[in-house]
Amino acid sequence: MNTHRPVKALSRALSRALSNSSSSVQSSSTFPLKNVTKSDFEPALAELRRHVAAADFVAIDLEMTGITSAPWRDSLEFDRADVCYLKVKDSAEKFAVLQFGVCPFRWDSSKQSFIAHPHNFYIFPRQEISATNPAYEFLCQTTSIDFLAKYQFDFNICIHEGISYLSKGQEIEALRHLSLAYEDELLAKWSNSKEPVHMPVVKMADTLFTERMKNIFTEWRDGLLRNGNGELQFQGNSNDSQQQLRTIFFKMRPALSLSGFTSRQLRLIQLVIRRHFQDLAYVQINGEKTCQQQLVVRTDSKDDRQLLMKEVKDEHCRQAEVKVQAAVGFRHVIDLLSSEQKLIVGHNCFLDIAHIYSKFVGPLPSTAEEFVSSVNKCFPYVIDTKMLLNANHVLQQRMKKSQTSLSSAFAMLCPQIALGKKSTDLAFQSCVKVEVQVDDLRSSNWNSGAKHEAGYDAFMTGCVFAQTCSHLGIDFQSFLPSEHLAHNEKLQKHINLLYLSWSNRDIIDLTSGKKNAVSLGYTNHKKRYPEILFENIALIWGFPSKLKARDIRECISKVFGPTSITSIYHLDETAVFVQFNKEKFVSEFLILKETLERNDGPVSVLHPLAGLLEGGNTQAANYETYKDICSSPSSKILFADQADAVGTKRKNKLIESEAAMESLERESFGEKNEVNPAFVFC
């Protein structure tokens, strides 16, 4: 989601041409973009298959309903790599994707330019089949929704016309559920077991009805045996009977189609068939317009009856597969990108990849290592343009230090593409050319700025990647159609490296699962804090709101020494990280806090930590507890409330061993360290 301002209108000739094109193409006054909804998804998917198969790379972008479920879940500089992943996991699980941009790029050697095919898919997690989990729920972050509304995002189209989807896991579960439902609820009822249906026949009307149906089925079956033509001659009120019972053929067998009966009457008919007819079978099938059709079928033998039931079951399974495949919806696009194994290009896209996995593959794994291993199987070649921009010193200087947002990169590296106009400027002419094709219309002249639509952002991402490749020395003019861009030697050291967190520059390799790839030149970020040693960090929360970082530092330094604290960082107004200069100070601080809280004597009141512990709500723990709190699915607005919600798990970790506390108390009498002994015991 990046800002980009329109500059000039599209030419009148192109406007007239676009106005005659498919309605899925955006208005000619803006960037030519193919918008896809559920009504035209199938033909758009067929077209996309051709473009992806021919593409050299595919750029993607997502628009979501939010980023963080609580302020403290923002990416922080004090977040360790595994915590960074937990925060991304929380975001991907709680928010929805409303738009998915897919833009295949193909190098056209005859035109010496890339041909881009931008697609903007509206998607919505609609429940298409009841066999899946209960109706989807997701969060909306007001700032994100307001942002989308500001750029004229059409929520009505998304909700009413968005393409639904099932993940691979949901598809498997839906098929399993439908199969089990058929076997448990239908086959058990329809079989000709001698066991009675559990339905007491106590009413006189039920008794009369069952006797009547027994006579009708006997007459019909005997008529088949005598005449061989299946004609049914009813006694009594034949008009009513013939409206409810009609002879047809089902799978080459004579059958009675039942209609107009109540559900209770149908259960009584099942009872009659089971008790009195070994050569008749009661089956239920899906008729036209998904209406269920009830049949009584004549079989020749027990083997024939079993064969019939197998045929009915197989047909049911086929229909269930068709229904589930239709509900798979937009995931067919993800399967396409995975099967073609093209180079996938995103911008700062670790969260995008997490959303793709969560929505279309299955539940996110609990650790980053498991996640990247699974992702690499689906998408073996992923590249992040933000990584590329920060890996090249020339590009860094051109991008004016750290301004590597997508819109900034697009405006700086692709000015002639952003304008949609040809330029006589030599610097512009040296840029890699890009043309856009939507349906049968191809153009290099347009009015830029389909602002913050996923399809347009995907297009910008691909353009930035093309220009960045040129800066890295890749010569597209000598590029051969048989070449696989993902195997280009100049890109090899950048493939599959993504930022886990932009704020602290944690990098993860999707190929190996290794983190912090500092040897590849990605360490140009000037950190605000000294080197962070996570084992030296104590987490404190619930302290009096009047205390600020300066006050907390002063309290602790009086006990552990003026140089004992390296840095203090606020998560929010209710919690801080305190980084000590020695690891042992963490456990000593936690034990001292617990000791003071257990003693109500006068020394505790006069202790330097008394101000920090005032009110009795102050809690503290090591960094591992912070990780546990971040892994919780709940998201309270304030971190102190979140920590209290996690509760018992945290409390058990605060004092892991009473023996450790007692040992420390004994040792402190004779041990010389920076802790003031006068304040250790109360």
Domain co-membership, 361 together with 465: yes
Domain co-membership, 349 together with 482: yes
How far apart, in whole angstroms, are the C-alpha atoms of residue 171 and residue 137?
A: 18
- Of the candidates 462, 491, 469, 484, the residue with the CA atom closest to the CA atom of residue 59: 462
Domain co-membership, 130 together with 98: yes
Answer yes or no: is 11 within a domain: no
Higher per-residue pLDDT: 361 or 447: 361
pLDDT-above-70 percentage for the chain = 78
Final residue before a domain boundary, out of 278, 301, 324: 324
Q: Cα-flanking dihedrals φ and ψ of residue 198, to 5°? A: -75, 75
Contacts of 325 (CB under 8 A, 6+ apart): none
pLDDT classification of 416: cutoffs 50, 70, 90: confident
Weakest mean pLDDT among 245-259, 426-440, 539-553: 426-440
Stretch 44-73: mean pLDDT: 96
pLDDT at position 385 is 95
Domain co-membership, 157 together with 285: no
Task: Give, as one character, the DSSP assignment of residue 262.
Answer: -
pLDDT at position 17 is 37
Domain co-membership, 147 together with 256: no
- pLDDT tens column, 621-678: 999 999 999 999 999 999 999 999 987 444 544 444 444 555 545 454 444 444 444 4
Final residue before a domain boundary, out of 292, 308, 324: 324
Contacts of 277 (CB under 8 A, 6+ apart): 192, 217, 221
* Paired sense of beta strands 57-64 and 343-346, if any: parallel
Domain co-membership, 546 together with 567: yes
Q: Cα-flanking dihedrals φ and ψ of residue 577, to 5°? A: -95, 135
pLDDT at 5 over 50: no
Q: Cα-flanking dihedrals φ and ψ of residue 438, to 5°? A: -125, 120
Give the best-scoring range by mean pLDDT among 290-299, 316-325, 541-550, 644-653. Answer: 541-550
pLDDT at position 136 is 83
DSSP string, 632-664: SS---SSHHHHHHHHTHHHHHHH-S-HHHHHHH
pLDDT at 378 over 50: yes
Task: State the virtual CA torsion across 220, 225, 226, 228 in degrees, nearest 10.
Answer: 90
pLDDT at 278 over 80: yes
pLDDT at position 24 is 56
Weakest mean pLDDT among 440-454, 464-478, 604-618: 440-454
344: β partners: 58, 382
pLDDT at 212 over 80: yes
CB 19 within 8 A of CB 28: yes
Stretch 522-526: mean pLDDT: 54
Answer yes or no: is 119 within a domain: yes
Answer yes or no: is 278 within a domain: yes
Domain co-membership, 504 together with 374: yes
Residue 519 corresponds to which amino acid? Answer: S
Stretch 191-215: mean pLDDT: 72
Answer yes or no: is 7 within a domain: no
How far apart, in whole angstroms, are the C-alpha atoms of residue 596 and residue 607?
A: 8
User: CA neighbours within 13 Å on the CB side: how many for 582?
Assistant: 14
Contacts of 51 (CB under 8 A, 6+ apart): 104, 106, 117
pLDDT at position 143 is 93
Q: If you count them, how many residues does the chain have?
A: 682
CB 462 within 8 A of CB 57: yes
Cα 424 to Cα 86, 416, 431, 446, distances in angstroms: 49, 10, 12, 17
97: β partners: 64
pLDDT at 42 over 70: yes
Residue 103: CATH number of its domain: 3.30.420.10
> Could you tell me the pTM of the whole model?
0.81
**Alpha helices (runs of H) in 536-580, residue ranges in sequence order:** 549-560
Weakest mean pLDDT among 95-99, 149-153, 442-446: 442-446
Stretch 124-138: mean pLDDT: 78
pLDDT at position 290 is 57
Expressed as residue numbers, the domain containing 256 is 196-324
Stretch 34-61: mean pLDDT: 97
pLDDT at 517 over 70: no
Per the structure, how many domains does the chain have? Answer: 3
- Of the candidates 201, 196, 222, 214, the residue with the CA atom closest to the CA atom of residue 274: 196
Q: Cα-flanking dihedrals φ and ψ of residue 205, to 5°? A: -65, -40
Residue 114 corresponds to which amino acid? Answer: F
Weakest mean pLDDT among 40-54, 169-183, 223-237, 298-312: 223-237
Domain co-membership, 512 together with 620: no
pLDDT classification of 288: cutoffs 50, 70, 90: low
How far apart, in whole angstroms, are the C-alpha atoms of residue 266 and residue 3?
A: 63
CB 293 within 8 A of CB 286: yes
Domain co-membership, 350 together with 469: yes
Which is it for the CA torsion 398, 498, 68, 156, positive or negative?
A: positive
pLDDT at 215 over 80: yes
pLDDT at 409 over 80: yes
pLDDT at position 478 is 83
Final residue before a domain boundary, out of 631, 648, 671: 631
Domain co-membership, 224 together with 367: no
Answer yes or no: is 647 within a domain: no
- pLDDT tens column, 260-275: 899 889 989 999 998 8
pLDDT classification of 139: cutoffs 50, 70, 90: very high
Weakest mean pLDDT among 276-280, 411-415, 536-540: 411-415
Stretch 104-124: mean pLDDT: 95
pLDDT at position 621 is 96
Answer yes or no: is 260 within a domain: yes
State whether residue 83 is helix, strand or coil: helix
Answer yes or no: is 365 within a domain: yes
- Of the candidates 75, 88, 95, the residue with the CA atom closest to the CA atom of residue 140: 95
Nearest 5 degrees, angle CA 566-CA 572-CA 575?
Answer: 60
Answer yes or no: is 418 within a domain: no
Q: Which two tokens stand for residue 301?
A: 């033998």
- Of the candidates 577, 652, 509, the residue with the CA atom closest to the CA atom of residue 80: 577
How far apart, in whole angstroms, are the C-alpha atoms of residue 350 and residue 386?
A: 11
Nearest 5 degrees, angle CA 503-CA 509-CA 510?
Answer: 115
pLDDT at position 316 is 81
Residue 282: CATH number of its domain: 3.30.1370.50
- pLDDT tens column, 90-99: 999 999 999 9
- pLDDT tens column, 310-351: 888 888 888 888 888 889 999 999 999 999 999 999 999 999
pLDDT classification of 462: cutoffs 50, 70, 90: very high
Domain co-membership, 201 together with 318: yes
Residue 621: CATH number of its domain: 3.30.70.330
Weakest mean pLDDT among 63-67, 146-150, 417-421, 605-609: 417-421
Residue 83 corresponds to which amino acid? Answer: V
Domain co-membership, 339 together with 318: no
pLDDT at 581 over 70: yes
CB 381 within 8 A of CB 495: yes
Weakest mean pLDDT among 67-71, 185-189, 408-412, 510-514: 185-189
Average pLDDT value over all residues in the chain: 82
- Of the candidates 91, 100, 226, the residue with the CA atom closest to the CA atom of residue 158: 100
Place of tokens 């009096």: 544
Stretch 542-553: mean pLDDT: 94
**Alpha helices (runs of H) in 228-262, residue ranges in sequence order:** 238-244
pLDDT classification of 292: cutoffs 50, 70, 90: confident
